[in-house]
Structure 1
Amino acid sequence: MKNNGLSQAINPQAEARVDAPITFMSSDHVPRVTDYGFGISAIDADYLRPGLAAIHLVVEGDKAALVDTGTSSSVPGLIRVLGIKNLDPADIAYVFVTHIHLDHAGGAGEFMRCFPNAKLVVHPRGARHMADPARLIASAMSVYGEMEFKRMYGVIRPVDANRIIEAPDGFSLDFNGRPLVFLDTPGHARHHYCIFDRSSQSFFTGDTFGLSYREFDVDGMEFVFPTTTPVQFDPVAAHASLDRIMGYEPSYAFLTHYGRIGHLPRHALELHQLIDAHVRIARELRDVPDRRTALVEELGNLLLSRIVAHGCKLPQEEIHDLLSLDVGLNVQGLENWLDHAGGN
């Protein structure tokens, strides 16, 4: 680990626990970083807009791990943050991808190229796609087109299969003396795991515990909503995965979209309710003309009403703008569920 004299000010190991997160901003394209204690920080992946996707850094002793990657364009800013935190690329021992959607794993190949000692830990259903991402690339290009794909995701590099560790349900890993447990948590995707960190009594949940943007926080209370995208949404599995996470009585969840949330019993209940509401709306609008437009309107109104009731004072137009990407993706996932998974 490097020593550049800055560790005393921002080293997340300086205290065993920090209840109020500390956020610092810097110039020269250094991403926003929020330090939470227990050696955990959220680093903005600079994906599409600020505050949309986080890369979580976990530091334990002289080693570090990263949870989810953003895209290949996230790497330069991440390396600057590592330097500020007195970490060298060689200190990265693991890169964990909660699932292989490209906003979570698109940068994995570039990360592995830049972090020579790291192992990539991935769900068994996703491992072969990390070693050979051709199908991921083709699928995304068919949706976005080549130019838009390159703008959003950049270069997708394959990962040497010898550097990939598969993490089946119940897999345990000793991260420099810090125990981590991996749970198979389908519902959003069949190649999704969540990581239980015993040290912080918390989960890294990828998309399984929904989305929560800091712009919607009201007096320290977060607003959380489900993500039903893109082609493997399974409401029964989503409910079961939430219950399984809560069975560990976690203190916090670290969401890729975005950062740490508390108040988990309340949020789990609301997520169950909102999953059911998404399913109900999809079924009600299954056969209407221009179904997609109708679903976008109804889901947008559902979430807007919940956010306003939550106490958020942002203008409704700004709320719609912040939700628009996720509402559109949720609609795509619900339509696929209606058409291919039964949805009866």
Structure 2
Amino acid sequence: MNDVYYEDLDRGITMIDAQLFRQGQVSTYLIVEDGRAAFVETGTAHSVPALLWVLERKGVPREHVDFVIPTHVHLDHAGGAGALLRQLPNARLVIHPRGARHMIDPAKLNAGAAAVYGEGEMNRLFGQVVPVPAERVIEAADGDEVDLNGRRLRFLDTPGHARHHFCVVDETGDGIFTGDTFGLSYRWFDTGRGPFVLPTTTPVQFDPEALHASVGRLVAQGLNYMYLTHYSRVGDLHRLQRDLHELIDRYVEMARAHADAGPSRHQRLCDDMMQMLLVRLRDHGCTLPEARIRELLGPDVDLNVQGLEVWLDSGA
């Protein structure tokens, strides 16, 4: 599988590209601790062969994988969990208590993704979510821990992006696996000033106050890295935290400004969000052509706006 991209990040952590959308967009992680292993995030059912290939490259037998840990049940994070567990005879799924039932019976996940993407596109992108046997599921509430061969993984309940979202504190890795809570930071936009970050408000559970609190709680753990699903590891956390807080507020202001725009609301919000991000990227020192930036950010802007509209329509 020469097309699989992965990167060893030290501290026993390997980032594996999930091969979803385009390379550089969705990360999964393999943690290895003295011969035992865990996956954090799974990508989709289509990602599973790449994860197993890297596991083999690392010399870890499949029966030595103890845990599969999606941060939440959105399909780019957990869509491959059931299919992956079928290949890992001793692994258990660790999931937020609000997400467990959707992993055991994924009918609503499949239907929800089909509603957003259309059934044909959903199958092309994600495949079908495979059920996870209930006896292989561990529900991890706030403060719970699992032991990976002496390496402690601790779970923080982090709503704001989704109510079924936790983050995984790994002190051995000097960081936290953040799913979508600490936003999106694609390596395409790195400059001499460091990484560029933006919040993700993908449908359907955006809660700005909860997201502000969750971002602050992550940084307050006092570690040096965030292991993002979108994409890979970042530092400079206090600056990124400030940027996220500012942009969450900007998103809210923008949504409220267009709340009564009628049929044109979605397009107006997309145009304003894209323009704001273009300006911020130029200020950050990004020299990519505008057309390329629009290509790279367009899908995220559209999904972010969909999430803001759901939030507005819920009575925000």
Instruction: Please give the TM-score of this superposition, normalised by the length of structure 1.
Output: 0.90
Instruction: State the partner residue of 1:103.
Output: 76
Q: In the TM superposition, what is the alpha-carbon distance from 1:145 to its structure 2 partner? A: 2.3
Measure the CA separation in 2 of the matches of 1:143 and 1:227. Answer: 16
* 2:276 maps to 1:325: no
- Structure 1 segments of 4 or more deviating over 3 A? none
Measure the CA separation in 2 of the matches of 1:143 and 1:233. Answer: 16
Instruction: State the partner residue of 2:129.
Output: 156
- Indicate the SS of the match to 1:195: strand
Q: Which amino acid aligns with 1:223?
A: F
Greater shift after overlay, 213-222 or 305-314?
A: 213-222
Instruction: State the partner residue of 1:255.
Output: 228
- Asked if structure 2 preserves the Cα contact closer than 8 Å seen for 1:68 and 1:104, the reply is yes
Measure the CA separation in 1 of the matches of 2:103 and 2:73. Answer: 8
Give 1:55's match in structure 2, choosing from 22, 28, 34.
28
Q: Which amino acid aligns with 2:192?
A: D
Greater shift after overlay, 320-329 or 172-181?
A: 172-181
Q: Per-residue CA shift, 1:153-194, capped at 9, x if unaligned?
A: 112110000000000011111111011110000000000000
- Indicate the SS of the match to 1:186: coil
- Indicate the SS of the match to 1:104: helix
- Asked if structure 1 preserves the Cα contact closer than 8 Å seen for 2:200 and 2:300, the reply is yes
Instruction: State the partner residue of 1:5.
Output: none
Instruction: State the partner residue of 1:186.
Output: 159
Q: In the TM superposition, what is the alpha-carbon distance from 1:220 to its structure 2 partner? A: 6.5
* 2:204 maps to 1:231: yes
Q: In the TM superposition, what is the alpha-carbon distance from 1:34 to its structure 2 partner? A: 1.2
- Asked if structure 1 preserves the Cα contact closer than 8 Å seen for 2:7 and 2:14, the reply is yes
Instruction: State the partner residue of 1:39.
Output: 12
Q: How does 1:64-213 map to 2 (within 5 A)?
A: 64-213=37-186
Q: In the TM superposition, what is the alpha-carbon distance from 1:30 to its structure 2 partner? A: 4.0
* 2:242 maps to 1:269: yes
Q: In the TM superposition, what is the alpha-carbon distance from 1:142 to its structure 2 partner? A: 2.3
Measure the CA separation in 2 of the matches of 1:220 and 1:59. Answer: 32
Measure the CA separation in 2 of the matches of 1:125 and 1:318. Answer: 38
- Asked if structure 2 preserves the Cα contact closer than 8 Å seen for 1:185 and 1:241, the reply is yes
- Indicate the SS of the match to 1:270: helix
Q: Per-residue CA shift, 1:24-64, capped at 9, x if unaligned?
A: xxxx3441111111001110000011111011111101101
- Indicate the SS of the match to 1:114: coil
Q: In the TM superposition, what is the alpha-carbon distance from 1:323 to its structure 2 partner? A: 0.3
Give the gaps of 5 or more residues in structure 2. none
- Asked if structure 1 preserves the Cα contact closer than 8 Å seen for 2:193 and 2:285, the reply is no
Q: In the TM superposition, what is the alpha-carbon distance from 1:200 to its structure 2 partner? A: 2.2
Q: In the TM superposition, what is the alpha-carbon distance from 1:78 to its structure 2 partner? A: 1.6
* 2:259 maps to 1:286: yes
Give the gaps of 5 or more residues in structure 1. 1-27
Measure the CA separation in 1 of the matches of 2:2 and 2:127. Answer: 18
Measure the CA separation in 1 of the matches of 2:18 and 2:144. Answer: 27
Q: Per-residue CA shift, 1:120-146, capped at 9, x if unaligned?
A: 000000001000001111121222222
Measure the CA separation in 1 of the matches of 2:180 and 2:163. Answer: 12
Identity %: 52
* 2:311 maps to 1:337: yes
Q: Per-residue CA shift, 1:266-293, capped at 9, x if unaligned?
A: 0001100000000000001111241000
Greater shift after overlay, 83-92 or 94-103?
A: 83-92
Q: Which amino acid aligns with 2:310?
A: N
Q: Per-residue CA shift, 1:226-257, capped at 9, x if unaligned?
A: 00111100000000001111111120000000
Instruction: State the partner residue of 1:308.
Output: 282
